[in-house]
Amino acid sequence: MSTAIPIQGQPRGYLIPIGGAEAKRKDPVILKRFVKLCGGEDARILVIPTASLLDETGPMYLELFEDMGAKAMCIPIEERDQCYGEDILSVMEKATGIFITGGNQLRLSTILGGTPVARAIRRLNANGVHMAGTSAGAAIISEHMIAGGRGGASPRESGVVLAPGLGLTNLIIIDQHFNKRGRLGRLLAALSFNPFVCGLGIDENTAAFIAPDGCMEVVGHGTVMVIDPADLRLSSMSYVRKAEAVSLVGLKLHVLASGSYFNLETREATLDKGALQGAR
């Protein structure tokens, strides 16, 4: 899946995958930064709580964003049929930012995937609307989505379940609640299938703010583990037996805390954004 083509001269919107459990009341640095990016008091943030089965999820985020000075809207899509409604699509056109909540990412992909709502999200982001997602909402941002898999530090055959995501980027694959739930092994297993992309393992209360030029800044209280498979030379994934451990030789790994940067185009990591931009 290719990312949507932007209007000529119009930069894409930011992509902001959040590792889940972001601070909402006490020091909500990630949400505040998202609101500021979307226009501050002029921000119009669309909340999509489809991944969650809790009725209070959408209203909770509406209240949070409105308390931060933004205007907020919610479209509680629960069935695929709703994704074809002109009323929902017209509401989406007014957004300067889209926020997809956490929950079950397969619920997200089976309800939204391939619908006019999914296509509108892709088009709006291509034309400058910023897109953030937490937990399941983060996982679905990329072309390939991790839908499930084994916990633990070791990659294993059959250790990850993949499904199509929204395809807002084809440069990364994302796993969330990363250290809390011990998901290194399943992210490595996912990368063994597609060594083109970088793996982002995002901790809770941590986000990757990915600019239109591919420069990513880490924000929050944990880390983003970046696994770069560009130099992967050997992999045993194609011949190990079911559930056996997998060997991967030549991976590069960066552990990036708040204020660190990574360029998804050049695969360079740094603590100095100016140096990263100067290298391009």
CA–CA separation, 145 and 161 (whole Å): 9
pTM for the complete prediction? 0.95
- Cα separation, 187 vs 156, whole angstroms: 10
Asked about 204 being catalytic, the answer comes back as yes
- For the ranges 41-55, 74-88, 264-278, the lowest mean pLDDT is seen at 264-278
Question: How would residue 258 be classed by pLDDT, with cut points 50, 70 and 90?
Answer: very high
Catalytic option among 52, 142, 177, 192: 177
Tell me which of 22, 52, 109, 135 is the catalytic residue. 135
The pLDDT tens digits of the residues spanning 8-55 come to: 678 999 999 999 999 999 999 999 999 999 999 999 999 999 999 999
Q: Which of 22, 157, 204, 217 is catalytic?
A: 204
Burial 236-248 (b: 16+ CB within 10 A, else e): ebeebeeeeebeb
Q: Specify the pLDDT at position 1.
A: 56
Q: How far apart are CA 66 and CA 24, in angstroms?
A: 12
Specify the pLDDT at position 10. 81
129-188: pLDDT as tens digits: 999 999 999 999 999 999 999 999 999 999 999 999 999 999 999 999 999 999 999 999
Q: Which top CATH class is 15-260?
A: alpha beta
Tokens at residue 233, please? 């030379």
Mean pLDDT of the chain: 95
The tens digit of pLDDT for each residue in 185-209 reads: 999 999 998 799 999 999 999 999 9
